[in-house]
Chains A and B, each alone.
Chain A
């Protein structure tokens, strides 16, 4: 036992001396500091052995830190990280969930190209994202600017604007389906009787060419309150002195927005746009509730990527194919997010 200890001591001392030499010759300050830290850790280990402590202070510190992380990380690793890896593998397999898996290389992806329903889902999802992201951003920013002013009942207005976000989707889409009902709803009633739109031309909000527009309209309405809160937080971070200085220079309201508010909110806008894009690509429940009818089936004019992932997995049990679609979704989100990051970086320079 003692011999073992002595051997370890010696090894640590050699390592420490070696590190000391490296520290002397290292010119780069950052690397030098790293080496110094490393040497300190070696020495601490040596002291621990000398003082007959079983674990060093450092190891104890790590254990405490891990004990904080463990409850969350274990759940996270098992239920998120593992399935993610599984999803990547599955995209190159053919599997029905019960029989043996079969490696099919890129076959699933080749199938995608000729699949008209997939192409429609892809197209619809992209149109939905392009429509929803800028509109929601503009609406939430405008709302936040108005609600950041000193006005009466500000709290009330803020709360009301947040209501649609909190409201359950099933309930609120049921209301929308009634309000926008093509033959009985109050919106079309107004169009017919107040604005004089002829009966034959009344919009069918949930069918054909208009359905994506209705989805976008609904999403802006539902989610603008959420992004408004984020913008409000951003606005409160802008120092009042900037606006005072602007006023002294005689800046108009528009100029203040252009030269103070907008540039100061760059980081917030970036965050909002990234989150919005990611969330919009995930669209599913809004589509099946507004356009799915009683059985929740989407037609080619209203289908979206997540719907097709779900169909292939849980209706056709074609898990490999479903995972290939999921990969397309992931790559799309990744590319758009990376472009946004690069653009943000360029603006920052």
Chain B
């Protein structure tokens, strides 16, 4: 009798578990739909004619005659290739500088002892809570004074040296045991070699995380280029796309084709590096 009750209980528990699982998947499917439908809509609209985009009855994801030439036209309607080139150049330079200088400085803060260390680090930390928008105007005036107005170099100076990068890398390096560096020092390795041969190879997760953040931020930045880049040949893809939307607000198919083009590189970078991503966030102390 007692045995019977306990198996019954067990069975109902199992049933609850299965019901819970089904519930979880149901929630997940709904969330995934909410997350991904705008992207599918974008893809779908990018091969439709303007008449078909808002056609609801019947709604089709792929039109009978897909307008692939939206993807060809978009390159001739605006200097999209120039925009892409500018953005690629900017993003690569900024990301490279950011990774190099941040990890370099972070090594010093995490593993070396020196004078004024705390004050220097405080200077970095105190600006993390300072929105860039608070000092973007004086920054622009200063850069204009240096003759950097309307130059891509201004965007590089603006984005390549962030407190955030130093902070992120430092948190990660602090998780690497000091003994490793000590042993290398006893072997007579210089600090530069320790950084290069020991620390860098270990920091893949943190570097990947920083790459994703920097790449995404630089690629998608709008306000920075809006302030600095005035000549059309210097504009980034975000500015160019926005300009196109302003001029041809009814060319829905073309707008969507341009949007897809602007998304592809970031999505690719993210997919390549995402393997390290959660691990990177966890080990860089970004979780608090």
Contact = CB atoms under 8 A, between A and B. Distances in A.
Interface string A206-237: 00000000000000010001000111111011
B138 A323 contact: yes
A323 B277 CA distance: 38
Contacts of A184: 54
A68 B195 contact: yes
A330 B129 CA distance: 9
Contacts of A176: 38
Contacts of A189: 56
Nearest to A97: B141
A347 to B, nearest CB: 13
Contacts of A285: 222-223
Interface centre among B27, B135, B161, B166 (most CB of A within 10 A): B135
B24 A329 contact: no
Interface string A150-164: 010000011111111
Contact of A323 (B130, B137, B161, B271): B137
Contacts of B132: 282
A268 B288 contact: yes
A232 B135 CA distance: 33
A284 interface: yes
A81 B246 contact: no
Contacts of A143: 31
Contacts of B219: 168
Interface residues of B, number: 97
A163 B223 contact: no
Contacts of A323: 137-138
A168 B263 contact: yes
Nearest to B139: A83
B102 A72 contact: yes
A232 B262 contact: no
A161 B282 contact: no
Interface residues of A, number: 98
B137 A326 contact: yes
B230 to A, nearest CB: 11
B242 A166 contact: no
B252 A178 contact: yes
A333 interface: yes
A291 B114 CA distance: 51
A326 B134 contact: yes
Contacts of A169: 220, 222, 238
Contact of A313 (B124, B137, B246): B137
Interface stretch (A27-35, A42-50, A57-65): A57-65
B133 A162 contact: no
Contact of A333 (B131, B140, B160, B227): B131
Contacts of B138: 83-84, 86-87, 90, 319, 323
Nearest to A233: B282
Interface in B136-188: 136-143, 157-158, 160-163, 165-166
A175 B34 contact: no
Contact of B35 (A61, A175, A225, A268): A225
A76 B242 CA distance: 30
Rank and list the top 3 A-B pairs by shortest CB-CB distance, nearest first.
A271-B288, A171-B259, A75-B161
Interface of A: 61-62, 64-66, 68-69, 71-73, 75-84, 86-87, 90, 97, 143, 146-147, 149, 151, 157-172, 174-176, 178-179, 181, 184-186, 189, 193, 221, 225, 229-234, 236-237, 253, 267-272, 274, 278, 281-282, 284-285, 289, 294-296, 306, 309-310, 313-314, 319, 322-323, 326-327, 329-330, 333-334, 337
8 contacts: A68-B112, A72-B165, A170-B238, A178-B54, A237-B287, A274-B129, A284-B223, A330-B131
